[in-house]
Amino acid sequence: MMSGLRIVVRGRVQGVGYRAYVARQAAALGITGHVRNLHQRDEVEIVACGDSQVLDLLIDQLRTGPAGAMVTGVSSEIIDTDVPIEDFTIRY
């Protein structure tokens, strides 16, 4: 069953390749959606759609991040996925 999540990751997650890391992990797991920096210097937002078990794996990977990142928090909320998302992109 496909699920959709809005995930916000906090910590040292900007300027360390975090968005590219998320895009690689999502592609490897077959997840669609996007990742972008939020205006706060310490937050990244991910919109992710996929199987709920695979989304759980992504969240586990988001807690670690790439070298140089220091994640201090990950929160998520279920979102409506009526609009199909076909790939995973980095938004600037």
Question: All domains of the chain, ordered by start, with CATH?
Answer: 2-91 (3.30.70.100)
Q: Provide the strand spans (E) within the chain.
A: 2-12, 32-37, 43-51, 70-78, 88-91
Identified catalytic residue from 6, 10, 37, 91: 37
Tens of pLDDT, residues 9-62: 999 999 999 999 999 999 999 999 999 999 988 999 999 999 999 999 999 999
Q: Which residue in the list 12, 19, 36, 63 is annotated as catalytic? A: 19
Residue 63 falls in the annotated catalytic set: no
Note the pLDDT of residue 81.
72
Q: Are 81 and 26 within 8 A, CB to CB?
A: no
Q: By CB neighbour count within 10 A (0-12 exposed, 13-18 middle, 19+ buried), where does 81 fall?
A: middle
- Rounded CA separation 67/18 (Å): 9
Q: Model pTM?
A: 0.93
- Looking at residue 55, its pLDDT comes to 96
